[in-house]
Amino acid sequence: MAGTLNDYLNELPLIAILRGVTPEECESVVEAVFAAGFRIVEVPLNSPHPLQSIERIAKAFDGQMLIGAGTVLTPNEVMQVRGCGGSLIVAPNTNVDVIGTAIDLGLTCIPGAATPSEALTAMAAGAHAVKVFPAEMIGPKVLASWRSVIPDTLPLLPVGGIDGHNMADFWQAGASGFGLGGALYKAGKRLDEISANAIKLAWSMSAAKKG
């Protein structure tokens, strides 16, 4: 049976962002990250045939992972993701119409925010977590100031430039997990490289949690 966002974050608080993945390779790529402990996957909608990939992954890993789309910009795209079996909606921005549509459809929604105002707006609209984006611009010190006013009940998930070298600093500042793109997967990367990246990043996350 599928778990909640918090269930999956408790297992491993990392989201695999597979920008550029193709339907032909998506299942083998997800199998590699699943083996490393990842339990949340997003296929950005600016990937090749993203809905096909989401449908394949959702069928292959039904009940084992939280699977959906990233770069979701409109309510119509939310409905398309739901229609192909996705249950996760990730956006780069705070769009209350996108959040509301996702919540009404029973989907997990993680909108993007670059300011505390946006994060609190997303929370008020019913978001399950906030994608702190772009994390390179915000940095751990600013994230710590966000956390001083944003309740611990709202997971803050930095995305953008996150790798094994800066996870610990963001974690100490109040991050609840991370979205990993280029440090994990890039279009054309060999499967063994993706697997090695996934294992290293899961280890880095474990080390960051231990302090």
Task: Tell me which residues are annotated as active site.
Answer: 42, 131
CA distances from 198 to 19, 42, 82, 163, 204 (A): 15, 15, 27, 11, 10
Cβ contacts of 110 within 8 Å, gap of 6 or more: 5, 88, 89, 90, 91, 127, 128, 129, 130, 131, 157
Dihedral, 106, 64, 23, 133 alpha carbons, nearest 10: 60
Helices (H) and strands (E) in the chain, counts: 9, 9
Phi, psi of 208, deg, nearest 5: -65, -40
CA nearest neighbour of 70 among 37, 45, 39: 45
